[in-house]
Structure 1
């Protein structure tokens, strides 16, 4: 049960940012940077550290401006399922789960990260840009969720489930807003 909550925690982090959670996972595993993480274990750790650090900095600074949010959303929408799957598989491997369970964790975390990213894109277009306080909160929450996945998976999983609940509530809100906007004024 704790493995599932840890996977949901990292999937939620991948639904907010791409490189930042991967960088945090690598730094948490300081003795063997990205050694057990699929796909990333085949890249030289120094090169990967440089790439993830520069992309994380870009994510942190570009997300504070409207144009940067638009550019980031394209990349995050495309790559959040991939990063979600990689991180879900990595956490399941760290927990030494059986192989079929590892693949299920990868699929679930991929879909969860994609759903959270879709909600973020929806709010971006609904609000015509995300406020800076919300983007800063996402950055902090992203790092916290990765740390919780390893140190306190129950709390991280509960936060991830709360984010899923907020995503479901958001879809209902959007549906009512869209339905109201489509009705002709009488």
Structure 2
């Protein structure tokens, strides 16, 4: 059960950010990226360079709307892969059987996808988030990775709370969308106060 909560914690971190969790896992585990499928075959300098570059791009371009949308869209495509890789790496760190580690990795990939999907929805809805929100996401991402190794119960509970918030948010958006008038009755987008 502790291993499952650790995988959920690190997968939720992968749902918030793409490169930062992998970078932290590599630095926190004693043997860098040897537990990560796919990354263990690449040279560590290449991995560090790519992950640091992407983490800086996520941080620097998060205030520019067009670049932020591009980065979030790419992150949406990569989040299930990164969530699965991070989940498998943490499961292998706990010395779990490979078959079970793959199942936990797939579960982690789904969790990362759901969290990142809702995060992208909020970005499109809010247009331009505050800077403190971006730093809060980074702080929560770092905390979830640290919790995965040091306090998996707390990290897993935070991940489950994020999943619950994501599901509640999507349900609220669905109800809001269903309350909108029919498309044929709606005025053109340029005349609406809250366009879709």
TM-score band by shorter chain is: over 0.9
CA RMSD of aligned residues (A): 1.4
- Which sits farther off after the overlay, 62-71 or 81-90? 62-71
- Which sits farther off after the overlay, 150-159 or 127-136? 127-136
- Give the gaps of 5 or more residues in structure 2: 187-196
Specify the alignment match of 2:46 in structure 1.
47
Deviations 1:136-170 (CA, angstroms, capped at 9, x unpaired): 11111111111110011011001000100100110
TM-score of the pair, normalised by structure 1: 0.93
Q: 2:161 is paired with a residue of what secondary structure?
A: helix
- Which sits farther off after the overlay, 127-136 or 146-155? 127-136
Matched, 1:6 2:10: no
Specify the alignment match of 2:171 in structure 1.
172
Specify the alignment match of 1:65 in structure 2.
64
Specify the alignment match of 2:148 in structure 1.
149
Once residues 155 and 169 of structure 2 are traced to their aligned partners in structure 1, the CA distance between those partners, rounded to angstroms, is: 21
1:125 deviates by 1.8
Aligned length: 184
Matches within 5 A, 1:10-29: 10-29=10-29
Larger Rg: 2
1:112 deviates by 0.6
- Give the gaps of 5 or more residues in structure 1: none
- Which sits farther off after the overlay, 32-41 or 152-161? 32-41
Matches within 5 A, 1:2-151: 2-29=2-29, 31-151=30-150
1:171 deviates by 1.0
Q: Is the 8 A contact 2:118 2:166 kept in 1?
A: yes
Deviations 1:95-146 (CA, angstroms, capped at 9, x unpaired): 1112221111011001110011110111122222333222211111111111
- Which sits farther off after the overlay, 31-40 or 74-83? 31-40
1:176 deviates by 1.8
Runs of 4+ in structure 1 over 4 Å off: none
Once residues 124 and 45 of structure 2 are traced to their aligned partners in structure 1, the CA distance between those partners, rounded to angstroms, is: 37
